[in-house]
Structure 1
Amino acid sequence: MTEAVTETITDLTYSTYLQMDTLLSLQQTRFPESTDRSVALAEHFFIVAHQSCELWLKQIVADLRLARDLLNAPGDPAGGAEDGVELLQRAAELLRVLHEQVIVLERLPLRHFVRFRPYLGTASGAQSQQFRVLGRLLEDGTETSELYRAFLADAHRQGLSAADVCRLGVACGGPHRVAEALLDVGNGYWRWKVAHLGLVTKMVGGQQGTGGTSGEDYLLRRITLPFRDLRQLRGNPHTEVLATSPV
């Protein structure tokens, strides 16, 4: 068995490990290349950008889910906070990558987009399942988000409330680092959404969005800053300092 595993590993190449043949065959454009190669290549660019976003979303969602689970871990006084912080920080950096990919999409010529856009049919980024999962992890709805509840559970195991964490800052150690990392993730998520709105207003303007959405209005209504309670609590130290400052 060991010999078989060793042989398989030694036979690996960069191409087979990454399944390059399959990966590079997934960009199937619909605009006829024989009609205009420039437009077909623009659609190819559009597909590559969105497929890349979905791959990064897969990693971000996986990292945030594990961070949530580590922070919720019972029996560990630290609640897996340090490992969770690493995962949150990586997710924050990957959200910055997503933001940059939206900026790159601004290099899609409008004259090309309007020609291949009809070939998208009813397909729309609003249909992304991974984007919805990310929203449940980060966004506050009728109750606080999954990640924020995990942060509260981790702090509670250490005898702290969210207000305590914001008041004590670095003095409370791990929970403070978790709170800071959560805000980095939340800010990255918000910047990504704002950049997407900017791209849509540049490329579509007031027209109806792809897939029947209302376009820029649809996106504008969905731009929120995650972890609103944490942000509000972080404002309390300002009030406390002002209250104790000499007139």
Structure 2
Amino acid sequence: MSALTYGDYLRMETLLSLQEPRVPHTAGSAAVLAEQFFIITHQACELWLKQLGADLEAAAEALLPPCDPHDLELGLEFLLRSVDVIRVLQQQLLVLERLPLRYFAEFRTYLDTASGAQSAQFRRLTALFGTSHHQGSLYEAFAAAAEYHGRSVDEVCRRGVETGVLHRLAEGLVDLGNGYWHWKVAHLALVSKMIGEQSGTGGSSGVDFLARRVTRPFPELRRLRGKVHHP
């Protein structure tokens, strides 16, 4: 048996063959490379979404009762890694701003009805994060963990570091929620820059459609943290 190589381990040959621009080569190499840049960025995002969804589901599972202190610390590890993954996703949007508008306009018609709104992995995140009005499964798991350890989320917010790992979990959720919100705002800004008032590729209203979906998760946690200002 031959020794395992870096390329074999990462399946590099397959990975690097997955970018297939649809714009004709007659459009010129700059247009082809622009679409390749667009494809690679979105494929990379989907890979990070796979990791993010798996980590957040693992965090929620670790927090579900019965959960001992080790489970809480493990959940926190998953949560904090997810905060950094969200930052990576936001940075990729900033990189995508280097896509020249003239080339995007040239290959955009070849996207046909394909749209980021069709991402199954993003819908998976919505169930975990919730919306501005509904709690997601991640917050529900945290609230259940706090109750299992004899605390309410309100008490965790008010007592802060006295509640140990529960406090760190609450702060991690806040950082995660803010990162998620910043990511969606950055996406909205990018789309506004690239298509203006044009409709989205999937038949949506474009910028207006995205703007209605820029939400801040964990509304109950934010409400309870705000109560700390009013003893």
TM-score (norm 1): 0.91
Give yes or no for the alignment of 1:50 onto 2:42.
yes
Q: Distance in 2 between matches of 1:140 and 1:122?
A: 26
Q: What residue number does 1:70 align with?
A: 62
Q: Is the 8 A contact 2:132 2:219 kept in 1?
A: no
Indicate the structure (1 or 2) with the bigger Cα radius of gyration. Answer: 1
Q: Is the 8 A contact 1:166 1:233 kept in 2?
A: yes
Q: Is the 8 A contact 1:208 1:215 kept in 2?
A: yes
Q: What residue number does 1:15 align with?
A: 7
Is there any run of 5+ residues in structure 1 with no aligned partner, and where? 1-6, 241-247
CA RMSD of aligned residues (A): 1.3
Q: What residue number does 2:28 align with?
A: 36
Q: Distance in 1 between matches of 2:107 and 2:10?
A: 30
Q: What residue number does 1:61 align with?
A: 53
Q: What residue number does 1:178 align with?
A: 169
Q: What residue number does 2:193 align with?
A: 202
Q: Distance in 1 between matches of 2:116 and 2:146?
A: 36
Per-residue deviation, 1:116: 0.2
Q: Is the 8 A contact 1:79 1:157 kept in 2?
A: no
Q: Distance in 2 between matches of 1:136 and 1:87?
A: 17
Per-residue deviation, 1:229: 0.7
The one-letter code sitting in structure 2 at the alignment partner of 1:15 is G
Aligned residue pairs, count: 231
- For 1:118-177, what per-residue CA distance to the aligned partner results, in whole angstroms no more than 9, with x for missing partners? 000000000000000001100237742100000011001110111010011010011111
Per-residue deviation, 1:78: 2.9
* 1:115 aligns with one of 89, 106, 115: 106
Q: What residue number does 1:85 align with?
A: 76
Q: What residue number does 1:137 align with?
A: 128
Q: Distance in 2 between matches of 1:34 and 1:115?
A: 12
Q: Is the 8 A contact 1:77 1:157 kept in 2?
A: no
Is there any run of 5+ residues in structure 2 with no aligned partner, and where? none
Q: Distance in 1 between matches of 2:63 and 2:199?
A: 42
> Alignment partner of 2:162: what SS?
helix
Give yes or no for the alignment of 1:211 onto 2:175.
no
Q: Is the 8 A contact 2:56 2:79 kept in 1?
A: yes
- For 1:49-100, what per-residue CA distance to the aligned partner results, in whole angstroms no more than 9, with x for missing partners? 00000000000000000000000042x3337111111111100100000000
Identity across matched positions, percent: 54
Q: Distance in 2 between matches of 1:152 and 1:107?
A: 42
Q: Distance in 2 between matches of 1:52 and 1:174?
A: 32
Per-residue deviation, 1:196: 0.4
Give yes or no for the alignment of 1:26 onto 2:18.
yes
Q: Where has structure 1 moved over 6 Å in runs of 4 or more? A: none
> Alignment partner of 1:122: what SS?
coil
Tell me which moved more, 172-181 or 17-26.
Answer: 172-181
